[in-house]
């Protein structure tokens, strides 16, 4: 008997007892569906985190002074601080490879709009690379952000929000090129020309209470202008400018590891003899890699626990196959009397066991993927219902693990082979005379 005939007979035998065949598959279905559901959830979380970090934009290293574990209570002094001059000097030593961006609060400002009404704004000095990340660029609806040229030339340019335009002009149209005077509460007053208009995300609107403010003039929005222009207005030099942190980017052939080495080489002599403070380098990519590794370990551990149910399912398959052989003893005797070899009988029952497990595995895979899709829909619903302001930052995606699916199907087939071989061997070794006599 050839292989195809064995498969046909196996399906015909399983079709006779549909309910029993399904119940036999149930252990395999539950085990495989649990494994696929878990791996789909783990893979989807990993992909969602990755895509969310990608939306945040260009990956940069963040550097900032950090206190050592043996801190003895001393506060930060001038020699401990990170200054703009240090950052600029670092960049100048690696032209075309490193870039930097930073921002600093200039202060609150009073503005009088065209109707003579007063409202307030928050002034932020930013470097030219501040608006480079895609999530900032997509918020710009008119014009542009202050550029590196504006920063180096200490230009009096700024980018404001569409809400600011409504506050000042009563409209968002034809606002580019208009100059506005900002009366500062503590720092020097400054005149800035609008070169761009941006719109806020829902998260920013909630943070600024734009949607709940009783009056439009009660809302304080942000105005961004060149960092060096801010320093000039303050009358301070880069040496005197202390930074809480700075973002270091890289271009060309440089990568994050090379950038880290450049940073370490520059700041190591500066902080070498500092017993309290050191320069910390925060790498977003490295943290993402650690999170992904932890997720993978957890997913694998839980999947292995869930896969134990496959052993239970395999024992069930062996049990049913033994019962089936007992019921079909006379059939085995007749086939042997007609010339069937031990291998023919053995292969038929092994194929039946494999088909049961493989079919159960396929159903389990389908259920597992559907569970993953269902859970993603539930997660999206909960996100939009209870944290809608974060929804635009989180890109939920269902990513079934193809390797997990392939391994699950192969494991199902092996389960059929392993747990089906003993009953099949027992059937193949039956004495035809004893089998024919069996009632």
Q: Report residue 5: phi and psi, to 5°.
A: -65, -40
pLDDT for the residue numbered 248:
86
Residues 6+ apart with CB under 8 A from 41: 299, 372, 375
pLDDT for the residue numbered 109:
92
| Residues 365, 36 contacting (CB under 8 angstroms) | yes
pLDDT for the residue numbered 439:
60
Q: What is the DSSP annotation of 93-136? A: HSTTTEEEE-EEEEEEEEEE-TTS-EEEEEEEEE-TTTT-SHHH
Alpha helices in 223-255 (DSSP H): 227-234
pLDDT for the residue numbered 59:
64
Nearest to 64 by CA among 245, 204, 186, 310: 245
pLDDT for the residue numbered 163:
92
- Looking at the whole model, is its pTM more than 0.85? no
pLDDT for the residue numbered 75:
67
Angle value at C-alpha 333, between 329 and 338, nearest 5 degrees: 150
Q: How far apart are the first and last CA of the chain?
A: 26
pLDDT for the residue numbered 393:
59
pLDDT for the residue numbered 366:
93
pLDDT for the residue numbered 36:
87
pLDDT for the residue numbered 119:
92
Would you call 203 helix, strand, or coil by DSSP?
helix
Tell me how far CA of residue 291 lies from CA of 50, 60, 288, in angstroms: 10, 18, 5
**Which of the residues in the chain have pLDDT under 70?**
1-3, 51-59, 69-78, 133-138, 203, 239, 386-395, 435, 438-439
CA distance 334 to 349: 16
- What number of other Cβ atoms are within 10 A of residue 143's Cβ? 16
Residues 6+ apart with CB under 8 A from 342: 428, 429
pLDDT for the residue numbered 104:
86
pLDDT for the residue numbered 167:
92
pLDDT for the residue numbered 330:
83
pLDDT for the residue numbered 57:
54
């Amino acid at each position: 008997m050839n292989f195809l005939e064995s498969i046909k007979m196996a399906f015909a035998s399983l079709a006779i007892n549909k309910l029993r065949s399904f119940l036999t598959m149930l252990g395999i279905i539950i085990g495989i569906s649990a494994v696929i559901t878990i791996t789909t959830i783990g893979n989807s979380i990993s992909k969602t985190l990755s895509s969310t970090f990608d939306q945040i934009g260009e990956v940069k290293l963040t550097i900032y002074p950090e206190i050592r574990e043996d801190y003895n209570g001393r506060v930060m002094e001038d020699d401990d601080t990170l200054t703009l001059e240090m950052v600029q000097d670092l960049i100048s030593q690696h032209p075309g490879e490193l870039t930097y961006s930073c921002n600093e609060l200039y202060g609150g400002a009073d503005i009088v709009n065209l109707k003579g009404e007063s409202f307030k704004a928050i002034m932020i000095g930013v470097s030219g690379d501040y608006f480079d990340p895609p999530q900032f660029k997509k918020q710009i609806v008119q014009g542009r952000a202050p550029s590196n040229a504006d920063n180096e030339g200490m230009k009096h340019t700024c980018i404001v929000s569409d809400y600011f335009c409504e506050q000042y002009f009563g409209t968002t149209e034809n606002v580019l090129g208009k100059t506005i005077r900002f009366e500062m509460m503590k720092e020097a007053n400054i005149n800035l020309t609008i070169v761009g208009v941006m719109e806020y995300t829902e998260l920013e609107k909630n943070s600024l209470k734009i949607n709940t403010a009783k009056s439009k003039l009660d809302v304080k929005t942000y105005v961004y202008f060149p960092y060096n222009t801010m320093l000039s207005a303050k009358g301070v030099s880069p040496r005197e400018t202390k930074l809480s942190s700075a973002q270091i980017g890289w271009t060309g052939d440089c990568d994050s590891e090379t950038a880290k080495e450049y940073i370490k080489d520059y700041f190591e002599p500066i902080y070498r003899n500092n017993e309290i403070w050191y320069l910390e380098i925060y790498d977003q990519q490295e943290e993402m890699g650690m999170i992904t590794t932890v997720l993978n370990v957890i997913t694998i551990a839980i999947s292995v626990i869930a896969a134990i149910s496959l052993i239970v399912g395999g024992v069930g398959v062996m049990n049913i196959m033994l019962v089936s052989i007992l019921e079909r003893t006379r059939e085995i005797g007749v086939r042997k009397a007609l010339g069937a070899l031990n291998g023919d009988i053995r292969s038929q029952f092994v194929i039946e066991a494999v088909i049961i497990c493989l079919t159960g595995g396929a159903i389990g895979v389908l259920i597992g993927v559907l569970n993953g899709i269902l859970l993603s829909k539930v997660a999206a619903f909960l996100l939009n219902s209870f944290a809608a302001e974060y929804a635009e930052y989180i890109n939920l995606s269902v990513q079934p693990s193809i390797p997990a699916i392939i391994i699950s199907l192969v494991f199902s087939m092996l389960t059929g082979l392993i747990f089906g071989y003993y009953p099949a061997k027992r059937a193949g070794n039956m004495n035809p005379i004893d089998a024919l006599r069996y009632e």
